[in-house]
Structure formats: C-alpha cells, structure tokens
Amino acid sequence: MLTPIFLALIFCSSCLSSRNKLEKLPGLYFHLYSDHYTGFLNVTDDERLFYWFMESQNTPSVDPLIFWFNGGPGCSSLTSLITELGPMLLDKTGENLKRNEYSWNRMASVVFLESPTGVGFSYTETGEYPIPTDDFLTAKLNYDAVKLFFKEFPEYRNHDVFISGESYGGIYVPMLVDEILNGQKDFPINLKGMLIGNGLLDKKLAQQTRTIMSYGRGFITESIFENHLVKCCNGSITCKDTKIDILDCSDLPLPEEWDDTFYDRYNLYRKCVDLDCGVYPHTIPESFFNSKRVRRTLQIPHDKRWRDCDDLAYDRNLESVKDQILRAAKNGVRSLIYFGDADLMCNFIMGQKFVAKLGLKKLSPKKPWFFKQHHFSGTQTIYENLKFVTIHGASHSAPETHPAECYHILQQFLKDQDI
C-alpha cells in the first residue's frame, strides 16, 4: 500500500513534469504494447525541443535506451519515427497507421528528438526563427537535451545508452558522443555505442565519391567522369592528396540535359512515377503531423507548421567526424556505421574510404553477409570498436526499404555480436 507521503510525491512529480503520456493517436487502431510520451525539453529560457519517447515493448526496465536524430540539417526525427523505425508507420493515405513488426522499440526504448531549435515542433517562446547555429552549437544543444531527458526520466539514467541517427546525423551523432564523453565526470551516462545510418562523415569525401558512384551505377559518361576526376580528385580515382576545398565540386556530376526527376538520388533503384523522384519523398508525414487532431493529441502549444525539413540558419562548420569517431573508439564506445548501398547522397564509398583511413585495427576483412542464409545482403568489415556494414539495394533511409535486415543489424549490434 502507498503511504500518503509517497502518493503526494508521485502527484507532485507528475504535475511538474512535461511528460504527456500518449493515450491514443488519430489513425491508430492497434495496441502499441508500450508507453509513449511526448513533450518539450527546455534547453534554454527560450528554446523548446520536442521529443517523442517510446518505451521498449520487451522489458523497458532493463532494455537499452537509444536516442535518434534525423539529419538535414533541419529534418525532423519524427519522419523516421513514422516511416522507418517506430511501431506504427503511415500508410499511403497519410491518415492511417499500420503496424511495423520491425520497430526498433521491440528491443530498446527510443527517444526521437527534434533538433536543433526550429525543426518540426521544436520552437522558441519568443517566436523568433531561425536561430543561427552550427555543428558545435548543435552538439551542445543536443547534449543539454539528453541531460534534460534524464532529469525527466531518471529511471533510465543507468541504462545502456546508444546515440544514433542518419544522414546529417553522421555529424550530430559523433559530436554528441564527444560531448557526453567530455562531460562524463559531471554527468555520468552509461554510453555504450553509436549507430550511424547513411551518415555524412566527411564532406569532401562525400562529394568526391558521388562522382565515382554515379559513374559506377551507369549514370554519367566517360568524359564527365574524367573531367570530374581531374577537377575534384586531381586526376586520381582514389581521390588522395587533393585540395578539394579550393575547387568547386558541390554540384552533382550530371549531364546538363539530365533532369534529376528521372531518378531518386536517395534510392537509385526506385522506380519513379510521374517524375516524382526529384523531391525527397516524405510529403505524407507533413499532412499527418499538421492535422489538427494529431497536433491536439501531441499537445503542441503553437501554430508553427510542421515540416519534414525546415530551413535553418545553419553553418556546417565541421569538415569530418574523424577525430570524434576515433576518440569514441579509444574510449571503448562501439560504432556501427551502416550504409544502404543504393544511396548516392551519403554513399557507401564515402563510408568505406572514411573508415579505412581511420587507422583502427582491422579484426576481419570485408566479407559478404547473408540475411537468414537467403541471399547476399551486403558486406561487413570489422575493426576494433567499429563495424562497417553495407545493406545491398537499400536506400538513404535503409530501415524504410530493408526493415528486416536493419532490425537484425541493430539487434546484433546491441548484443555486441557480429551480423
């Protein structure tokens, strides 16, 4: 039986709390099998970051805790929640939700954070946007949000923690890990690893390898390929010893007459209908998250339109996350760097070159892996405290096109076992 004092404590903590327990959701007609909470983290006097926290469907009291970040910069983590990783995914109508049997919260509790300020439902009290920011300021902001999350959910403080994300999350994730490691004395977190899907790891390498990938996939001509090698890689296919920062390689290496609505640069093998491939294919979440019923359920206190990706005043001032990944590995933080290999924007060749140049001890050379012994599913290379995995045929958002494979990869990574 609870004593009156204990009851008062519970009452008091819930009335100070920013937790909003989700009891229902428009379009949802099945059980979620775990508790979901949404709310805002007051990272500064003015800035409010939206989070959606879903407890594990397995054993939330002991399962790991994963923080997830979408990229952009400016893209919302809720897009992945509702199209890739969550227990309910939007169907084609954008109104109804269907069950995802490969939801990541079947084995871990997951926090989806909308960061930095101005992304998605995250907002400022003064209503001023955008707030000028950059890679370093965002890392500090994300770290503050993680600490505030633990204040809100202290029962998770000792859980194994994994920081994860995709795309520009390739910058956010290692930088946040670095902040956590630097702050361990003042604010210990049981950090075990980081997970990066189709991450931007090195900005120069990303540009250089796009040319190689476009050529290899049959998109560009011999002469365009040769011109770009000269221009961007000083004539060498390995792109070594170049000073790309003084050369302009920012445009995709495509012939003028090519319209990029012909193909999907985030998913090269996708069949495009009605020339819809030029846009990042995530307009459906916008109609869902802007519906009045959904916003009321999530208790959004403002009218700012939810967008898949918001425009930010963002200075992309970190060139490469090499130092952060190496420091993490030295501190025993495991990294899983995976790439859907049909993505041109953050392509696996960048990842492979990036990882090979880190100088970590190689424990197992590049080998194919076979999902459920069926067919070639990609490759894996194992280094000390770092695994590099490709997923054959998967897109920029690999868990969306290859959910079972990604679920398997995550499961093995959390258990620290090979795939």
Ligand X SMILES: *[C@@H]1O[C@H](CO)[C@@H](O)[C@H](O)[C@H]1NC(C)=O
Cis ω on the peptide bond leading into residue 87 (within 30° of 0)? no
CA distances to 14, 56, 69, 94, 115 from 110, rounded to whole Å, are 21, 7, 11, 23, 15
Residues 274 and 295: their CA atoms lie apart, in Å, by: 31
135 is catalytic: no
Q: Confirm or reject binding of residue 147 to ligand X (CB under 6 A).
A: no
When asked if residue 412 is in the footprint of ligand X (CB under 6 A), the reply is: no
Which of the stretches 64-72, 241-249, 340-348, 373-381 binds ligand X when contact is defined by CB under 6 A?
Answer: 241-249
| Helix pair angle (135-152, 169-182), 10° resolution | 60
Q: Is residue 125 close enough to count as binding ligand X by CB under 6 A?
A: yes
Among 155, 222, 241, 303, binds ligand X (CB under 6 A): 241
Q: Does 242 bind ligand X (CB under 6 A)?
A: yes
| Other C-beta atoms lying within 10 Å of the C-beta of residue 291 | 16
Minimum CB separation from ligand X for residue 18, in Å? Answer: 5
Phi-psi region of 79 (alpha: psi -120 to 50; beta: other; left: phi over 0): alpha
Cβ at position 4, least distance to ligand X in Å: 25
- Establish if 260 lies at the interface with ligand X (CB under 6 A): no
Tokens of 47: 């800035």
Task: Choose between 124 and 379: whose C-beta lies nearer to ligand X.
Answer: 124
Q: Footprint of ligand X on residues 39-68 (CB under 6 A)?
A: 42, 48
Residue 135 phi/psi, 5° resolution? -60, -40
Annotated catalytic residue: which of 56, 76, 167, 214? 167
| Annotated catalytic residue within 396, 397, 402, 408 | 396
Q: Which residues, listed in sequence order, are joined to residue 338 by a DSSP beta bridge?
A: 197, 389
Residue 241 DSSP SS3: coil
Q: Which is nearer to ligand X, 34 or 234 (CB)?
A: 234
Q: What is the closest distance, in whole angstroms, from the C-beta atom of residue 306 to ligand X in the complex?
A: 18
- What mask of x and - would describe binding to ligand X in positions 337 to 376, judged by CB under 6 A? ----------------------------------------
- Applying CB under 6 A, the site for ligand X has a residue count of 8
**Which of the residues 63, 159, 343, 377 is marked catalytic?**
343
> Is 205 within 8 Å of 350 (Cβ atoms)?
yes
Decide if 396 is catalytic: yes
- Residue 59: left (phi > 0), alpha (psi -120 to 50), or beta? beta
45 annotated active-site: no
Measured between alpha carbons, how far is 352 from 101 in angstroms, rounded to an integer? 30
Q: In this complex, which beta carbon is closest to ligand X, that of residue 101 or of residue 241? A: 241
Q: In the set 20, 96, 227, 234, which binds ligand X (CB under 6 A)?
A: 234
The catalytic site residues sit at 167, 343, 396
Contact footprint for ligand X (CB under 6 A): 18, 42, 48, 125, 234, 241-243
